[in-house]
Structure 1
């Protein structure tokens, strides 16, 4: 999506300041309030900002799924295989968007009678020709992550109950818990955890010790973490002391 000079300047400013007001933008650029609202609507479609009453806030920019899919693939494949081994025949599970959660989906095709609910197009496509019942949540498509978000997505998840949910994370610290760079994705993760019997975080070692803007779960809400053997042993030990089942592969 191409941005004009004013829109690019607005994007740079909101990234630096985290929040902007329509009244300030109108004065700075000497345009009408309607013009500013149209600009913010366009920027929101990029997935970088979220409009609020009277302005907009920065919600972070994800590394695209295409880029993430080519990083640490050996580790992600092992993590996905191990995480999928927890799923039992006949269970209903939720899988969110991500390159590691995709690897979970790839190892579910031989488990009978399961139902997979997902907001991720890559997960649904992976299971398209498998003997697995798939339910897509619907919602607003985010191109960067090939995921569906927004009120339609949350309303769908709120009507369901899952045996297990498998979620990615872009950050974990003992102080923050598990975090993500995008507010829309965080809303989905929080709701999935709330409606699950057991919650699993699948993440590679590079996410440990990293803070992201939006927290979606403290350690107390997560039952299992599956990661690779290069993860910080002190942080893993802290998770185990908090009662989390930590599996390294």
Structure 2
């Protein structure tokens, strides 16, 4: 097969599958992995794909930051189901860290009637949801990210470096089998890393729309968390593959 034909076929395959792997392509076209890497490098230079760890994805599959109001109306039933599973993992008198996001907002709604917790969050909406909670509520403060509702910046980072919690529920913009958990900005990724460092028990909470996608900045690998709490709409093959890497609930 000519180089141009192989590269054309690679792009066609990528549009059909959404992601491609170097080893699989090398076997499919009976060429070396290095040849495939050169193909992917050339195609990336043309703007036709974005190389990832072990393969490539389409440029448009890179997840961007979504406004809070848009997220609020998306997959609400699924997020409520995830929240019910998540709260089962919170101990009595526990210290709980809630990352920003609408899935964690649903968790907050279930926690606001409890009086035994310490709840820390970097989300303005979650802080307001817990306004009348009998539990102790700590907002990180910081710079408010416009249209997103998350607090970011050095104040958030400093607080997270100095706390220790029993459990963290981390939101995810994108989850990919090969790239792990990713998010749109380096700053958001760093804040999420600090959250993970502060917690004994670490859980990703994400509805099925976040899977098989990737974003700009790497947060963590699957080995760094206790598992992922999601809804029952996740693709069966995706679940099977991810269960080889972490716990899926």
TM-score higher than 0.5 here?
Answer: yes
Q: Deviations over 1:172-221 (max 9, x none)?
A: 11110011113222111111001110111111111110011111010001
> Which residue matches 1:75?
78
> Which residue matches 1:122?
125
> Which residue matches 1:212?
215
* Structure 2 alignment gaps of length 5 or more: 1-62
Q: Deviations over 1:125-167 (max 9, x none)?
A: 1111111211111211111211111111001010001100011
TM-score, structure 1 length as denominator?
0.72
> Which residue matches 1:246?
248
SS in 2 for 1:194: helix
- The answer (yes or no) to whether the contact 2:93–2:116 under 8 Å persists in 1 is yes
State the shift of 1:240 in Å: 2.3
State the shift of 1:224 in Å: 2.1
The whole-number CA distance in structure 2 between the counterparts of 1:180 and 1:231 is 20
The whole-number CA distance in structure 1 between the counterparts of 2:101 and 2:230 is 14
State the shift of 1:109 in Å: 2.4
User: Equivalent residues in 2 for 1:1-249 (5 A)?
Assistant: 61-242=64-245, 244-247=246-249
- The answer (yes or no) to whether the contact 2:64–2:215 under 8 Å persists in 1 is no
The whole-number CA distance in structure 2 between the counterparts of 1:77 and 1:128 is 20
State the shift of 1:84 in Å: 1.5
Q: Deviations over 1:82-130 (max 9, x none)?
A: 1112111111011011111111111112434110111101111111111
> Which residue matches 1:49?
none
The whole-number CA distance in structure 2 between the counterparts of 1:84 and 1:151 is 29
- Report runs of 4+ in structure 1 exceeding 3 Å deviation: none
TM-score, structure 2 length as denominator?
0.72
- The answer (yes or no) to whether the contact 1:62–1:144 under 8 Å persists in 2 is no
RMSD between superposed Cα atoms in Å: 1.6
